[in-house]
Chain A
Amino acid sequence: MQLIRTVLFGLALAVTASAAEPGTQAPGFSAKTFEGKQISLADYRGKIVFVDFWASWCSPCRESLPLYDKLAADFGGDDFIVIAVNLDETAADAKKFMAEHPVKYTVVQDPDGDIPKVFGVSGMPSSYLIDRDGTIRQRHVGFSKKDVDMLRAEVTKLLGKPAGAS
């Protein structure tokens, strides 16, 4: 009985601990870009980081990429960083899409889905806005064009705040 209770408690803990909620510290990850460069989330500490999970087969994701690219370009790309995590199982699918719709921001590949597992991604696309201290400020599932305006407002707000001032 005691064993069952311990196992259940452990499972419950594992489930609650796995999701990356707003207000909590973003889980760290590192992955390779399509050019073979290894990057890690920790490299961007002190900057506003937008992590976007996408795949070439997900149509709202396809719509979002050029808009995020424009957003990143508008903010200058120095203090606001976009990291797109591609979840295509076949790299060729992603490469084909990126050849047709090139983006300037960093795109890393995670064909095994290890990073979304740690973040507890519940739908596609999913995005996380992380502040200078590494805290998740916003989590968003799905995509519509007006989401970009909300994101733009939030990023502008965060860019005005120095690290440590939450």
Chain B
Amino acid sequence: MPAFQILKEKVADGMILLTVRGFLDAHTFEELERCINDLFEEGHYKLVVDLSGLDYISSAGAGVFIGAIGTAQENEGNIILVNPSPNVKEVFDLLGLSQIFTFKANREDAAKALR
């Protein structure tokens, strides 16, 4: 299995579902950053990011979301994070990001939050 994997799906109402798996660190973050920048260029600013398969995140990985959420919100979108593991959520907590990002337990609730 690759160390990091992103699956991209278009869902209803112009929303995009990103499923990220593996290790999101200083070695892999640029792949996610490119993916999100491409979506912004295509005019997609409503992103649901499923983190349930993400095993690890460092500040380089969290930095991708920090760098992108402002652009998403300025364009009437948002980034909703779904079901991170306790280890991944702990990193958002340590960085003080849990008040800034919206977390949902499943994709359906995340999609509702974006409508």
Decide if A and B are genuine partners: no
Binding site for A on B (CB under 8 A): none
Seen from chain A, the residues whose Cβ lies within 8 Å of a Cβ on chain B are none
